[in-house]
Every structure is written in C-alpha cells, then in structure tokens.
Amino acid sequence: MTQIARGLRVLVAGVVVGVVAVMCVGGTASADPVFPPGPNPVPAPAPPLTQNALGAVGNSTPGTAPSIAPRIPAPQPAAAPAPPPATLVPATSGTLRDYFGGKGVKLEPQQPQNFKALDITLPVPPRWTQVPDPNVPDAFAVIADRSGTGNSLYTSNAQVVVYKLVGDFDPQEAITHGFVDSQQLPAWQTTKGAMGDFGGFPSSVIEGTYRQNDMTLNTSRRHVIATSGPERYLVSLAVTTAVTQAVADAPATDAIINGFRVAVPGANPPAAPAPAAPAAAPAAAPAAPAPPVPVLPALPARPPVPAPTR
C-alpha cells in the first residue's frame, strides 16, 4: 500500500504541475494584442472600353452614351490635268493652196483699205519704208530697206499677204501644210521651223535659205489662220534678206519678226513675258571706320611773367 500511495501522489503532483504550466502559458499568450481582421478584397472597377484601332465602338457601361469616334473623310482624288494640245505633224506634200484647192476653199485677196476684220501689226524699223512692189502678187503691205547702205544687189524686205478663206476646212489640219511652199523653193535649206499657237490662232513658221538669181537669200516665213466672227483668213508674212546682209540687218528683221501680230479687233493683246527677277543686291560692305580726329599739338608753356619791381 505504502508504495502504491506514493506513486499516486507522484502522479497527482505531476498532473498539478502540468495544469499550472498550461495556465502560465495561456496567461502569457492572452497578454499579446489581437489585431482586427483585414477587410475583404474588393475587385477594382473595370476600365471603360475604348475604340479599337479598326474603328469599332466598345460596349458602354449602363447609363452612359457610347463613345463614337469622328469619321475622317476619305481624301478626294486629285483632278486630272488637262490633256496637252495635240502636236501638229508637218505635211510632207501639198502647199496651202493645194490643200485649200482640194477642199474647194476659195482664196479672196484683201487690201488694207477699209479692212477691219483683223488688227495686223507690221513694225517698220528705222530706214525701212512702205513701198509698192508689183513683184508681190496680192500684196497687202510691203516694206523695204531703201537706204542703200548694204553691199548687196538684193533689197531686204518684208511682205504681208491676206486672203479671206471661203469654204469649210479644219484650220489645224490646214496649217500642217505651212512648210511646203517654202520647202519647194530652189536649193532650200531649213534652219528651223515650228507649228503651234500664235496669238490664239494656229500658225506655222519656218526659216532657211534658198537660191534666187545667183544669190543666196535668207528668209523667215509665217502663216496664220485667223478667225474673226464667222470668217477665216490666211495671213502670211515673209521677211527676206541676202545672206551677205543677214547679220547687218538682223536688228531690223528681228524687230519685224518678233513684233508681228494678228488679233481680232477689241481683243486683249497677248501678255508680254514677265521680266526676269532682278538679281539680289550684293551684301553691303562693312562701313569703314571713321578716320581719327586729328589732335592738335600741345601748345608750348608760356614763360612765367616776372613780378614788377618796386
């Protein structure tokens, strides 16, 4: 019994010690502060839908109007440039008279007296005068250099002939025959030629040399088919000099060729080419420093004046 009781006391003592230990530990743990639980996570609001790169509109949130991107107008196609005028191809045969004859067009020569259908300008250079010339059939006007200053037997001259064209024809087609009459001259050599617009009318101009009476002549010939109201006219200018006089007479002949005009009365004359822009003035040179002002030399010191003696 004695041994058993001792063992029971030991067991009870062990239990008591264990309970005390638990109570001590529990008291210590209960002394720590208790933090309140954290708030429950709230989902972040979804960002509003925006228009994508293709231009579609996203679904809007309830209560708001959908956002619509502005429409960008499509670029308008550039206007097509006006087609250039058709290039005239010179005919290789058939003069203007041949062409008009084949179309049944009559050529009626005109005289300057009381002629009002067209304004024809023929410049008259110094020393040149208007002269009657029976060698020019149907002459409208003839001017020549009768000063006798040249060294050639041939007199430099300019001739204008005007015909009224009665009949139906195509002026653009007709003017392509403007070179042929010159090309049929004896020993003809072309210097240059062109076809195109002249004061609003179809025109041809050709320059070259040919032989006449054992002389070589230099000539410039222009044909213009002008329209005035319902009527059409063929206006022809020929400016001719001897080759030996071509250089000396160049100022006069150039003035005639470049100043010749054909226009409808009352129409605005063709605009003169715009003058070339003046060259930029050179930069001003830096101003030269002003010359130093001359310094007058120092005047010599005056000697002291002795005091008067008493």
Q: Please indicate, yes or no, if residue 142 is contained in any of the structural domains.
A: yes
Report the half-sphere exposure of 310 (CA within 13 A, side-chain side).
0
Cβ neighbour number for residue 203 with a 10 Å cutoff: 22
Q: Please indicate, yes or no, if residue 160 is contained in any of the structural domains.
A: yes
pLDDT per residue as tens digits for the range 278-304: 433 334 444 444 444 333 334 344 444
Tell me the C-alpha to C-alpha distance, in Å, between residue 207 and each of 156, 176, 239, 279.
15, 16, 9, 34
Closest CA to 198 of 260, 251, 255: 260
Query: Mean pLDDT throughout 9-32?
Result: 44
Q: Is 101 helix (H, G, I), strand (E, B) or coil?
A: helix
pLDDT of residue 267: 75
Q: Please indicate, yes or no, if residue 78 is contained in any of the structural domains.
A: no
Closest CA to 67 of 75, 77, 57, 76: 57
Query: What is the C-alpha separation between 174 and 237, in angstroms, rounded?
Result: 17
Q: Please indicate, yes or no, if residue 162 is contained in any of the structural domains.
A: yes
The string over 263-295, giving b where at least 16 C-beta atoms fall within 10 Å of a residue's C-beta and e elsewhere, is bbeeeeeeeeeeeeeeeeeeeeeeeeeeeeeee
Q: Please indicate, yes or no, if residue 47 is contained in any of the structural domains.
A: no
Q: Please indicate, yes or no, if residue 66 is contained in any of the structural domains.
A: no
Is the pLDDT at 147 greater than 50? The verdict is yes
Query: What is the C-alpha separation between 119 and 129, in angstroms, rounded?
Result: 20
Is the pLDDT at 217 greater than 60? The verdict is yes
Token representation of residue 67 = 């956002």
Query: What is the C-alpha separation between 216 and 237, in angstroms, rounded?
Result: 19
Write down the pTM of the prediction. 0.62
Query: What is the C-alpha separation between 160 and 138, in angstroms, rounded?
Result: 9
Q: Is 298 helix (H, G, I), strand (E, B) or coil?
A: coil
Is the pLDDT at 97 greater than 70? The verdict is yes
The answer to whether residues 113 and 133 touch, using CB atoms and an 8 Å cutoff, is no
Contacts of residue 278, defined as CB under 8 A and 6 or more positions apart, other chains included, come to none
Q: Please indicate, yes or no, if residue 96 is contained in any of the structural domains.
A: no
Residues in the chain: 310
Sign of the alpha-carbon dihedral angle for 238, 243, 245, 249 = positive
Instruction: Specify the range with the lowest mean pLDDT, choosing from 170-179, 186-195, 224-233, 289-298.
Output: 289-298
pLDDT of residue 263: 98
Q: Please indicate, yes or no, if residue 59 is contained in any of the structural domains.
A: no
Most confidently modeled range among 30-44, 59-73, 137-151, 265-279 = 137-151
Q: Containing domain of residue 251, as a range?
A: 103-263
pLDDT per residue as tens digits for the range 99-118: 999 999 999 999 999 999 99
CATH number at residue 215: 3.40.1000.10
**Number of structural domains found in the chain:** 1
